[in-house]
Amino acid sequence: MSRGAASLNQTQLPQPASRPAPAGSSVRAEGLPAMLLLAPFVLAFLLFFLGPALQTLYLSLTESSLTRTSAFVGLANYATLVQDPSFWASLGNTFYFALLTVIPLTGIGLVMALLVHRFVRAQSWLQGAFFLPYVLPISVVTLIADWMLQPSSGIINHLVGGQRAWLSDVHWALPVVAIGTVWWTVGFNMLMLLAGLRNIPAEQYEAAALDGARGFTLFRAITWPALKPVFGTALLLQLIASLKVFGQTYILTSGGPYNTSRVTLHYMYETAFTQSDAGYAAAVAMAFMFVVIALTLVARLVAKRSS
């Protein structure tokens, strides 16, 4: 047989079919980049959140100081916590502060966002002016607030015509801290809601204007329905932030007068670092964490049902 015929016969022979790659290998290959991207977050979560949380949980079940861990006492710290009037008073102050700040911060932030979105020519100036206080550190903010609230030389007493010691007043200490917090942090909510406003298509407003819709009708029919999810998110984030208040009250009032402005995190700090009772402070931290989680879940459920 000639060499050409032999090569022709070889090409006409059926070739063995190649094996398909296992389905699981392709899925693993596609998921590998995602796992690599998530790995830093997972590692940071385990090291800086889950690990300390578990350690705090164990510490809350012991009778410990800042320097040593003593005997395991089980739920004794939590039993004491339930009957501790100081803890409940600090929790009440925390809820009161949240009540004073959450709704005003989101409501005023919405008004600011509408103003920035409405006045196009002065948009950059208004946005910068509203957001500027948010970039200030808490030390600067509390220094400005303390200067403005001085009994004799403060600008607030100069405007109202009195010499009230606002930060030493039982009824006004926490509200004035809340007002300062609103001025300080409202820019964040304004920026979030402004981003939501900019995502609303302009064609919807043009079509509604052709039908004769104006002013509040446009807001009620187009702006608010489109902005409601963003508003709910801002409300939820602000609730969590307000419940975690510590720095403002600690610097401005030190929890006074008569502990009327001492919030839960301040009480936990004093228990751990002033009274050196780390076990009981850990129990306060764990109980407060569960309270924040429960309120967050309830707020999410209410927001989901309303939307």
Chain segment 40-55, per-residue pLDDT in tens: 888 988 888 888 888 8
- Total number of domains constituting the chain: 2
Query: 133 lies in a domain?
Result: yes
Q: Is residue 24 part of a domain?
A: no
pLDDT band at 212 (very low <50, low <70, confident <90, very high): confident
285 and 268, same structural domain?
no
Within a domain: 71: yes
CATH of the domain at 120: 1.10.3720.10
Confidence of residue 1 (pLDDT cuts 50, 70, 90): very low
Range with lowest mean pLDDT among 63-67, 110-114, 137-141, 174-178: 63-67
Range of the domain at 268: 100-275
Asked if 279 contacts 57 with a C-beta cutoff of 8 angstroms, the reply is no
Lowest mean pLDDT among 58-72, 159-173, 243-257: 58-72
* CA–centroid distance for 259 within its chain: 25
Same-domain status, 247 and 266 = yes
> If we measure between CA atoms, which residue out of 285, 267, 277 comes closest to residue 56?
285
Residue 44, in any domain of the structure: no
- Specify whether 183 is located in the same domain as 247: yes
CB atoms within 10 A of CB 58: 14
Residues 261-291 pLDDT 10s: 999 999 999 999 999 899 999 999 999 999 9
Residues 55 and 182 in one domain: no
Identify whether residues 158 and 245 lie together within a single domain: yes
Query: DSSP secondary structure string, 221-248?
Result: IIIHHHHHHHHHHHHHHHHHHHHT--HH
Query: 306 and 253 in one domain?
Result: no
The answer to whether 102 touches 152, Cβ cutoff 8 Å, is no
pLDDT at 8: 45
Other C-beta atoms lying within 10 Å of the C-beta of residue 63: 16
Same-domain pairing of 74 and 151: no
Phi (first) and psi of residue 69, to 5 degrees:
-105, 120
Task: Please report the pLDDT score of residue 207 as a whole number.
Answer: 85
Indicate whether 128 and 202 sit together in one domain: yes
Give the Cα separation of 195 and 64 in Å (integer): 48
Measured CA distances, 14 to 2, 9, 191 (Å): 21, 10, 68
Q: Using one digit for the tens of pLDDT, what is the confidence trace for 80-133?
A: 999 999 999 999 999 999 999 999 999 999 999 999 988 888 888 988 899 999
Q: What is the mean pLDDT of the chain?
A: 86
Residue 215 and residue 288 in one domain: no
230 and 256 part of one domain: yes
